[in-house]
Amino acid sequence: MSNDASHERYDRGVAALAAIDGAAGQKVIESLADIAPDFARYVIEFPFGDIYSRPQLDLRAREIATIAALAALGNATPQLKVHIEASLNVGISRAEIVEVMMQMAVYAGFPAALNGLFAAKEVFAKLDSAH
Amino acid sequence: MSNDASHERYDRGVAALAAIDGAAGQKVIESLADIAPDFARYVIEFPFGDIYSRPQLDLRAREIATIAALAALGNATPQLKVHIEASLNVGISRAEIVEVMMQMAVYAGFPAALNGLFAAKEVFAKLDSAH
Amino acid sequence: MSNDASHERYDRGVAALAAIDGAAGQKVIESLADIAPDFARYVIEFPFGDIYSRPQLDLRAREIATIAALAALGNATPQLKVHIEASLNVGISRAEIVEVMMQMAVYAGFPAALNGLFAAKEVFAKLDSAH
Amino acid sequence: MSNDASHERYDRGVAALAAIDGAAGQKVIESLADIAPDFARYVIEFPFGDIYSRPQLDLRAREIATIAALAALGNATPQLKVHIEASLNVGISRAEIVEVMMQMAVYAGFPAALNGLFAAKEVFAKLDSAH
Amino acid sequence: MSNDASHERYDRGVAALAAIDGAAGQKVIESLADIAPDFARYVIEFPFGDIYSRPQLDLRAREIATIAALAALGNATPQLKVHIEASLNVGISRAEIVEVMMQMAVYAGFPAALNGLFAAKEVFAKLDSAH
Amino acid sequence: MSNDASHERYDRGVAALAAIDGAAGQKVIESLADIAPDFARYVIEFPFGDIYSRPQLDLRAREIATIAALAALGNATPQLKVHIEASLNVGISRAEIVEVMMQMAVYAGFPAALNGLFAAKEVFAKLDSAH
């Protein structure tokens, strides 16, 4: 980040990450500090500074796409949980998140849907117990 | 389908499939006639009669979830193309479809995004040449 | 489930689930009660009421197909364990289950086979300790 | 293959490959001759000389496991077709193969099942036209 | 790309892409021009301007990692072919590429290895026929 | 293993496994003793006695290919950790391992890269605490 332009992209990413992923996103960034600090920067710059900051698609649609893809792939449960919480942050309801997980039974099988639903259950329970 | 109740679910599925997938969906059903006619019925009943007919999530969100998941999985190009067309049918714009494909670079890698974009390009070209 | 026909399919699914997955299947259904009760119904109706109830393939073959697929996919360990137990329930021997897991080394790689074998080892140990 | 013992394993593999995969298996071996002849030997020795030659699981069960896994993974259509034909060779009926593909809708999603069914349809058509 | 800093990253990516992927990389970029020109820019900036330009790992290791991963995933044959050619461009021998594909039998199964070998065979044949 | 030739292959595999995977590899073999002892032998014979013992590719390249593939597949974390340690054993630096994981963001998505980096972090911490 040698100058103003890089800073712009980085700063836009920091703002998007905070708005979308909240504390969970910040924790991911911090967990990279001692193993791959450059990758923490890339996470901020490319997914958040570039992709999520594009105005061509609303954040509701972006988060639905993300939780659908992560539930279908089925090999990234920590990231799925972060984005289930992010989905709530951008205004998607719990009932809608549950629907997206259920729909994944059609495209990735019932185990993928079940594991997505159990991830949602854990996130909702954590949020409820924090109140 | 021995009685009225089964017919209701089947008929609801036929209507949903026609509204969402249009002619492309009908072609899938027909292509199953000589190999697995029962599976054609299940395709109509479960994904369309059950899942897509649920009012808890709008069709725009459902199709975004579907094209995101199929592009991320990367092993079902014919079905991805059917649902890119279905996305247009339910009011998602070409620019939005392109955004969803681009976003998959973050969750499933650049090759998955590229192959999703090329699938979209083919579908758009086919539709343009049909006019 | 508004009438007799739906009830038939649901009841057939409940019976098949009990016969095949036993207590483990019942636990999956219960764990969905507070997050997605409709999905619990779909699990009973489609996989068990529709697919597993079809007479065209014996349950031995169905369970072999299931544990092979789940071990190969490698992203649904809880469901793999349920179906390793289900395989025993329908008369497949421990030695045969081990063979299926070993064979997955050929089609999905040695890590998939190893993780399948370790899942089987856990299920067998749990059953032995319950006696 | 420096001596009698290696030859035994290799010869056992050649016999198993011929019995199970028939001409389709031989074509795979030949197609490796100019790019990776050692790998052709490994294909014969490990999957066929070692795994398929083990008496602990019958060939019917082995082929059901294989076509289920390959349909679920969805990224190896040529090998799925070889083993759909192999399934017929070891006495599995067309109707049973269709059932296994249909069942994969539950574990790997409807697109995986559809693509498995279309692969079966192609293999059956090829065999019918050869008569 | 509003200023000097963005241009630096983009220019570094263009140079890396040309050095590594050659004409095949250029073709990918061009094929995006009418569907997703911004994504063409991201492909240049992130994978090539950021990742491949990092001095912490030599290009030989980077290409070995790439062809191994793409062969293992098995759902991105066009990109695998581009990187088999790129591997040759950075000094990896044909025999070494064949070894990497063979090794994937261990981690992703024999079908993944076979399909990787056949992709390599096609790339080598294309290059030979161009002389 | 009825004679000298089988013993040669097995012994070569034992030596390669010890040199590459060290104690972690030995633990995998031991954990198979009571569930699938024959598979322990196959793990030694095919991946190590056959593949890793081939002189056509150096061990550095082989381990880079392995950790790249396992991080990309994302469904075999225990094996990824074994091979992150194996990578150190054959002379790959921690910084290089981190680079390979980061590069997987391009081919398998950011979650795959993150999970690979966290696996590396755990392995490095375990090694540091053992001193």
For residue A78, the 8-state DSSP code is: H
Chains that touch D (3 or more CB pairs under 8 A): A, B, C, E, F
The pLDDT tens digits for F71-120 are 999 989 999 999 999 999 999 999 999 999 999 999 999 999 999 999 99
> What is the pLDDT, as a whole number, of residue D90?
96
Number of Cβ within a 10 Å radius of residue A63: 28
Q: Is the pLDDT of residue D96 over 80?
A: yes
Name the nearest CA neighbour of F72 among A92, B112, C124. Answer: B112
In the predicted model, what is the mean pLDDT of chain D?
95
CB distance B93 to A50 below 8 Å: no
Of the candidates E27, E25, E4, E29, the one whose C-alpha atom is nearest the C-alpha of residue E16 is: E25
Question: Please, which pLDDT band fits residue A6 given cuts at 50, 70 and 90?
Answer: confident
Residues above pLDDT 90, as percent of chain C? 92
Residues of F in contact with D55 (CB under 8 A): none
**Over residues E74-100, mean pLDDT:** 97
How does pLDDT run across D108-129, given as a tens digit for each residue?
Answer: 999 999 999 999 999 999 999 9
Region A118-128: mean pLDDT is 97
Return the percentage of chain F with pLDDT > 90, whole number.
Answer: 92
Examine the predicted complex and report whether its ipTM is higher than 0.85: yes
Confidence band, pLDDT 50/70/90 cuts, at residue C4 = low
Long-range CB pairs of B121-128, under 8 A, 24+ apart, other chains included: B121/E34, B121/E35, B122/B81, B123/B81, B123/B84, B123/B85, B124/B94, B124/E35, B127/B85, B127/B88
- Residue C3's pLDDT band, with cuts at 50, 70 and 90, is low
DSSP secondary structure string, C75-93?
A: S-HHHHHHHHHHHHHTT--
pLDDT tens per residue across span E91-131: 999 999 999 999 999 999 999 999 999 999 999 999 999 87
| CA–CA dist D92, C62 (Å, integer) | 13
Is pLDDT at A1 greater than 50 in this prediction?
no
pLDDT in tens, E50-64: 999 999 999 999 999
Taking 70 as the threshold, does the pLDDT of residue D69 lie above it? Answer: yes
Q: Does B6 have pLDDT greater than 90?
A: no
Q: Which of F52, F68, F76 sits opposite E68 (nearest CB)?
A: F68
Minimal Cβ distance to F75: which of A32, A70, A75: A75
CB atoms within 10 A of CB C40: 18
Q: What is the mean pLDDT of residues A54-58?
A: 97
Kindly determine whether residue F35 and residue C118, on different chains, have CB atoms separated by under 8 Å.
yes
Q: What is the pLDDT of residues C34-87, one digit of tens each?
A: 999 999 999 999 999 999 999 999 999 999 999 999 999 998 999 999 999 999
Q: What is the 3-state secondary structure (H, E, C) of D102-120?
A: HHHHHHHCHHHHHHHHHHH
Question: F108 with E75: CB under 8 angstroms?
Answer: no
Checking if the pLDDT of E3 tops 70, the result is: no
d(CA F105, CA E45): 14
* Interface contacts C/F by beta carbons within 8 Å: 52
> How many residues does the structure list for chain A?
131
Task: List, for residues D10-25, the tens digit of each pLDDT value.
Answer: 999 999 999 999 999 9
For residues A43 and F1, the model is more confident at A43
Number of H helices, E strands in chain E: 6, 0
SS3 B130: coil
Mean pLDDT of A84-98: 97
What is the value of pTM for the model shown? 0.96
Confidence of residue F6 (pLDDT cuts 50, 70, 90): confident
Residue F2: pLDDT over 90? no
Residue A61: pLDDT over 70: yes
Nearest Cα of chain F lies from the Cα of A82 at a distance, in angstroms, of 11
Residues 51-90 of B with CB under 8 A from A: 51-52, 54, 56-57, 60-62, 64-73, 76, 79
Instruction: Please tell me the distance in Å from F107's CA to the nearest CA on chain B.
Output: 4
Confidence of residue B1 (pLDDT cuts 50, 70, 90): very low
Instruction: Count the Cβ atoms, other than its own, within 10 Å of residue D54.
Output: 12
Q: In chain D, which residues have their Cβ closer than 8 Å to the Cβ of E109?
A: 73, 76
